[in-house]
Structure 1
Amino acid sequence: MLRDEVVVQQFKSAQRDSYSLRQEVSRLEFGFMQGKTDDHILERYAQIRRQLAQSSQLERLLDPRD
C-alpha cells in the first residue's frame, strides 16, 4: 500500500515537472518568433526537450492507472 502511494506521488511530481518545462518551451518558442536565437537559448531549448522526453517516459512507467 505504501509503495503505491510513493508511485502516485512520483507520478504527480513528474507531471508537474513536465508542465513547468512545457511552459518554458512555450516562452522560448515565443522568443524564437521574435528573432531571439542566441546559442545559450538554443541549448536551453534542446536541454528542455530532452528533459521532457525523459519525463514522458517516467510518467508512462509510473502511471498508476496501468
Structure 2
Amino acid sequence: MFRFLLKRRDRAEWVRLSDQINGFMVKAVIALLLLIAVFQVAMQNDTVRGMLTSADRWEGTRLN
C-alpha cells in the first residue's frame, strides 16, 4: 500500500530513526523505574512523607 514510501534509502532512514526512538524510550522507562524506586524509599521516611503528602495528617480525623 505505501511501498512508494519505503524505498531502499528511505527504509534505512526509517530504521535509523526508529532505533533512535527505541533507545530514547528504553532510557526513559529505566529512568522512570528508578524514580519510582527512589520515591518508594523516600516515602518510608516520616519527614519526607510529611513533605510530600498530607494523608498522614488527616488520618484518623473527621473531615466534616
Give the AA of the match of 2:44.
M
Q: TM-score, normalised by structure 1?
A: 0.51
* Count of residues in Structure 1 that have an aligned counterpart in Structure 2: 39
Greater relative contact order (Cα < 8 A, sep 6+): 1
- Flag structure 2 segments of 5+ consecutive residues without an equivalent: 1-11, 54-64
- Flag structure 1 segments of 5+ consecutive residues without an equivalent: 40-66
Q: TM-score, normalised by structure 2?
A: 0.53
Flag as ranges the 4+ runs of structure 1 deviating above 4 A.
Answer: none
CA-based RMSD of the aligned residues comes to: 1.2
Q: Which has the larger radius of gyration?
A: 2
Measured in 2, the distance between the counterparts of 1:34 and 1:26 equals 14
Q: What do residues 26-48 of structure 1 show as CA deviations (whole Å, max 9, x unaligned)?
A: 11000112233323xxxxxxxxx
